[in-house]
Amino acid sequence: MLALSRKKGESLIISNNVEVTVLEVKGEQVKIGISAPKDVPIYRKEVYDQIQASTLEAAESASLDAARDLFS
């Protein structure tokens, strides 16, 4: 993991087309702004983890259904 220090108003660039800017720092909370193309999905990690879990669950369910269909 790369760790960088940034101050309010400073940015970093990811992959030439995503800019992350520190907008505000209050105690232990940091507000960031993200500029990225519309086709780049951006999620909070807890939301991303839920999406991944749901996708895995759906894929496993679909695999079980397909296996049942083979033997029906």
Q: Is it the case that residue 8 has pLDDT exceeding 90?
A: yes
In a domain? residue 1? no
Whole-number pLDDT of residue 57? 77
* Residue 48 near residue 54, CB atoms below 8 Å: no
Same domain, 51 and 70: yes
Question: Which domain covers residue 34, as residue numbers?
Answer: 8-38
Query: What is the side-by-side order of every strand in the sheet holding 29-35?
Result: 11-14, 18-26, 29-35
Name the residue with higher pLDDT: 6 or 70: 6
Same domain, 69 and 53: yes
Whole-number pLDDT of residue 56? 81
Same domain, 28 and 55: no
pLDDT digits 0-9 by tens, 17-68: 999 999 999 999 999 999 999 999 999 999 999 999 988 877 766 665 666 6
Coil vs helix vs strand at 2: coil
H or E stretch covering 14: strand 11-14
What's the farthest any 2 CA atoms get from each other in the chain? 62
Same domain, 34 and 56: no
Same domain, 34 and 13: yes
Q: Is it the case that residue 69 has pLDDT exceeding 80?
A: no
Same domain, 27 and 46: no
Counted domains in the chain: 2
